[in-house]
Structures are given as C-alpha cells and as structure tokens.
C-alpha cells in the first residue's frame, strides 16, 4: 500500500491527499455506513487526522448519533453527493476516508470487517479476514 493516497468526489469539486500510512483499512458494517454506502458495508480507510489535507473545495456535512452514543460527522460533496469522509467525535485524531473516493482504489486492501454485529445476515463474505463485532481495540 502506498504511504500517500489521493482522491476526490465524482465531479472533481473536492480533492484531498493523505500523506501517511493508514492505521487500518476495513469493511465497516455499522448501520450508518450502510446508509452512507447504500449497501451492506462501506470500505473505509482510517488515517491520522493530521495527515489528511483537503486541497480543493469544501464538503457538506451531516452529523448523527452513532450506536456508541458518540457523534459521527459524515462529509460529502454538496454538488455530486459523493461520500468522502467521516469524523468521529470520540476519536478526533482519526479521519475516515471512503475508499471509493480514491483516485486508485487498488492502492489499498481491506484487512478486517468491523461492526459485524450490525451486518445483515446475508452480507458477510467468507473471506478469512478478522471480524470485530464493534471497533477493534
């Protein structure tokens, strides 16, 4: 995996760069990610907040109370609606990047499934990756 990632929204209004190796790349099955992805999971890149720079444009945001009781702010392009990021009130040092927004999604490889307790019964593949009912410790 590259130690530098770049991406943006579908229409090109928002661009970003991540200049550090991610802490984790995972399939997140929480209900909020299901809504944001329009499917059973969202592939997410969990990176250090300080390493991510939005180099062009501004995002629109929507905050929700997550199952944990903490707030999650979802950030997306206000023009084309592409989901881009999430910020976690409980972990402000982290920045969650939606893998589908990468310029080259082949730059990453998911290593786990998280929030499997929220996954639809039909959605978890038998891929041998570690599974965590909630967030890994």
Per-residue pLDDT reduced to its tens digit, 17-35: 999 999 999 999 999 899 9
**76 within domain boundaries:** yes
**102 within domain boundaries:** yes
Name the residue range of residue 75's domain.
20-118
Per-residue pLDDT reduced to its tens digit, 96-119: 999 999 999 999 999 999 999 999
**15 within domain boundaries:** no
**124 within domain boundaries:** no
**68 within domain boundaries:** yes
**2 within domain boundaries:** no
Q: How many CA atoms lie within 13 A of 37 on its CB side?
A: 20
**85 within domain boundaries:** yes
């Amino acid at each position: 995996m590259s130690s530098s990632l770049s991406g943006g929204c579908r229409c090109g209004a928002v661009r970003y760069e991540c200049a550090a190796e991610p802490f984790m790349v995972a399939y997140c099955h929480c209900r909020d990610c299901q809504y944001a992805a329009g499917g059973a999971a969202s592939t997410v890149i969990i990176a250090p907040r300080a390493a991510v720079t939005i180099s062009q444009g501004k995002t629109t945001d929507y905050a929700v109370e997550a199952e944990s009781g903490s707030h999650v702010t979802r950030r997306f392009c206000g023009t084309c609606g592409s989901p881009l990021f999430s910020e976690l009130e409980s972990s402000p040092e982290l920045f969650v990047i939606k893998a589908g927004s990468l310029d080259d999604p082949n730059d990453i490889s998911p290593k786990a499934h998280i929030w499997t307790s929220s996954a639809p019964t039909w959605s978890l593949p038998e891929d041998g990756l570690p599974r965590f009912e909630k967030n890994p410790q």
